[in-house]
Homo-oligomer: A and B are copies of this chain.
Amino acid sequence: MSERKRRAGAGAAAAASASKKPRVSSAASYAESLRSKLRPDASILATLRSLASAASKSKPAGSSSSSASKALAEDEPAANNYIVVADQDSASVTSRINRLVLAAAHSILSGRGFSFAVPSRAASNQVYLPDLDRIVLLRRESARPFANVATARKATITARVLSLVHAVLRRGIHVTKRDLFYTDVKLFGDQAQSDAVLDDVSCMLGCTRSSLHVVASEKGVVVGRLTFADDGDRIDCTRMGVGGKAIPPNIDRVSGIESDALFILLVEKDAAFMRLAEDRFYNRFPCIILTAKGQPDVATRLFLRRLKVELKLPVLALVDSDPYGLKILSVYMCGSKNMSYDSANLTTPDIKWLGVRPSDLDKYRVPEQCRLPMTDHDIKVGKELLEEDFVKQNEGWVKELETMLRTRQKAEIQALSSFGFQYLTEVYLPLKLQQQDWI
């Protein structure tokens, strides 16, 4: 019964579209005609297999994108002028904290008081490096002495956060930023202050925030050809029904990642995710499907990166055809300014823009009434993106963005539903894969 359902995705492709319009419009009949262009799945799979094997050899995969040549952070030369934090185990973070505190104690005993050397995280210090294709934090430190009216409070907060992180690590647990704040509301005043110092502490210790065992809340879900252990529990993501597996907030408890997928499909929204999960798309085209349900959260970004680094699979993105779709891609690929010090661990290079692209709207004849006019704000954001280095680097992206701004039209992934609810999984995506239509 369940097995039957699993095969239904492929079988149903041949069946007549149940959501055909009463009167077949020319756009709908054209859309339906694309179905006949589909080659047998075996042929598409052969293409995907060679693509995946190329990607695992770290050769530039897919089309001529220049970004294909950028390396994963683990291959990067040692950074000199910018900060690179790394995942560290608890013992190592604990001993770094001990060293800091011992140094402070020595300094106090010798009558010099104490001071922390804190990397500056000012906006001017957060820059995009084209070579790395991500935002990094430049190496520049400032002193935070206790014996100074201007910094006494911040030095105290820093010491307190160091002690709290030490306690969390010793217990072997994970806490949220909110938990941390509530342990000493009087000192921290408001959460923005403990959050900021937490980022300072990450930089000072040279480790990721996950290594401090302070996590953000998770929103992401994953299904597909992936098994991994979440805190020791073996998870088979082909057996997670339609709801999927919630992506764990603490990436350091994820281990034993295994997969026979040929690519990773990164989806902007949960509606498209649900369609793909219910149709068990990953059984027709072996893949791992994940979404952060909108703006990517830290847990999902870490998880995607881990998958990419360990499995070396191509990552294809399915986002809305609007400036925010592209902006979301940029966060996955280049990071956000706020977390620039950790961009090496949070970013996934070389994500391909599969769709829905501005050129797809005409190519797939998405009906006029399913397109939306761009607002003034949309246009402003689009124009700003055109100036961003990560867009400029990719000629194809520039062209698509120019098309969007010229036509002043945007569309959601759901707009494809106008050709039938399963058009996305039965025609659009298979055809995209067959034609290797990503940039």
Residue positions of A touching B, CB distance < 8 A: 1-2, 5, 8, 12, 15, 18-19, 21-22, 163-164, 167-168, 170-176, 178-186, 215, 217-219, 221, 229-235, 238-250, 253, 270-271, 274-275, 278-279, 293, 367, 369-370, 412, 414-418, 420-422
The residue of chain B having its C-beta at the shortest distance from the C-beta of A185 within the complex is B369
A170 x B18 contact (CB < 8 A): yes
Query: Which residues on B sit within 8 Å (CB–CB) of A21?
Result: 184
Best-surrounded residue of A173, A234, A369 (most CB of chain B within 10 A): A173
The residue of chain B having its C-beta at the shortest distance from the C-beta of A163 within the complex is B22
A241 x B232 contact (CB < 8 A): yes
Query: Which residues on B sit within 8 Å (CB–CB) of A186?
Result: 367, 369
Instruction: Say which residue of B2, B163, B185, B233 sits within 8 Å of A233 (CB atoms).
Output: B2
A240 x B235 contact (CB < 8 A): yes
- Pull 10 A–B residue pairs with CB atoms less than 8 Å apart, ordered by A: A2-B231, A174-B278, A176-B414, A186-B367, A219-B219, A233-B238, A242-B253, A243-B246, A243-B247, A244-B246
B230 x A242 contact (CB < 8 A): yes
A218 x B245 contact (CB < 8 A): no
Query: Which residues on B sit within 8 Å (CB–CB) of A245?
Result: 240, 243, 245-246
Listed from nearest, the 7 A-B pairs whose CB atoms lie closest are A230-B241, A2-B232, A243-B248, A18-B167, A231-B241, A182-B417, A233-B239
A418 x B183 contact (CB < 8 A): yes
B170 x A5 contact (CB < 8 A): no
The residue of chain B having its C-beta at the shortest distance from the C-beta of A182 within the complex is B417
A231 x B5 contact (CB < 8 A): yes
Query: Which residues on B sit within 8 Å (CB–CB) of A367?
Result: 185-186
Q: Once bound together, how far apart are the Cα atoms of A412 and B241, in whole Å?
A: 34
Best-surrounded residue of A19, A230, A250 (most CB of chain B within 10 A): A19
Q: Once bound together, how far apart are the Cα atoms of A218 and B242, in whole Å?
A: 11
With contacts A217-B271, A274-B217 known, is A242 near B182, CB below 8 A? no
> Given A18-B168, A178-B412, list of 17 further CB < 8 A pairs?
A19-B164, A19-B171, A175-B417, A175-B421, A178-B271, A179-B417, A182-B418, A183-B418, A186-B367, A218-B243, A231-B242, A231-B278, A234-B239, A240-B246, A242-B248, A242-B250, A243-B249
The residue of chain B having its C-beta at the shortest distance from the C-beta of A232 within the complex is B2
Give chain B nearest CB distance to A253 CB in angstroms: 6
Query: Which residues on B sit within 8 Å (CB–CB) of A244?
Result: 246
Query: Which residues on B sit within 8 Å (CB–CB) of A420?
Result: 183
Give chain B nearest CB distance to A423 CB in angstroms: 10
A235 x B230 contact (CB < 8 A): no
Q: Once bound together, how far apart are the Cα atoms of A370 and B182, in whole Å?
A: 7
Q: Once bound together, how far apart are the Cα atoms of A173 and B243, in whole Å?
A: 14
The residue of chain B having its C-beta at the shortest distance from the C-beta of A170 within the complex is B18
Query: Which residues on B sit within 8 Å (CB–CB) of A182?
Result: 370, 412, 414-418
With contacts A242-B248, A242-B250 known, is A270 near B218, CB below 8 A? yes
B232 x A253 contact (CB < 8 A): no
B271 x A179 contact (CB < 8 A): yes
Q: Once bound together, how far apart are the Cα atoms of A219 and B215, in whole Å?
A: 18
A173 x B217 contact (CB < 8 A): no
Query: Which residues on B sit within 8 Å (CB–CB) of A414?
Result: 176, 178-179, 181-182
The residue of chain B having its C-beta at the shortest distance from the C-beta of A223 within the complex is B246
B173 x A279 contact (CB < 8 A): yes
Give chain B nearest CB distance to A12 CB in angstroms: 7
Query: Which residues on B sit within 8 Å (CB–CB) of A178?
Result: 271, 412, 414, 417
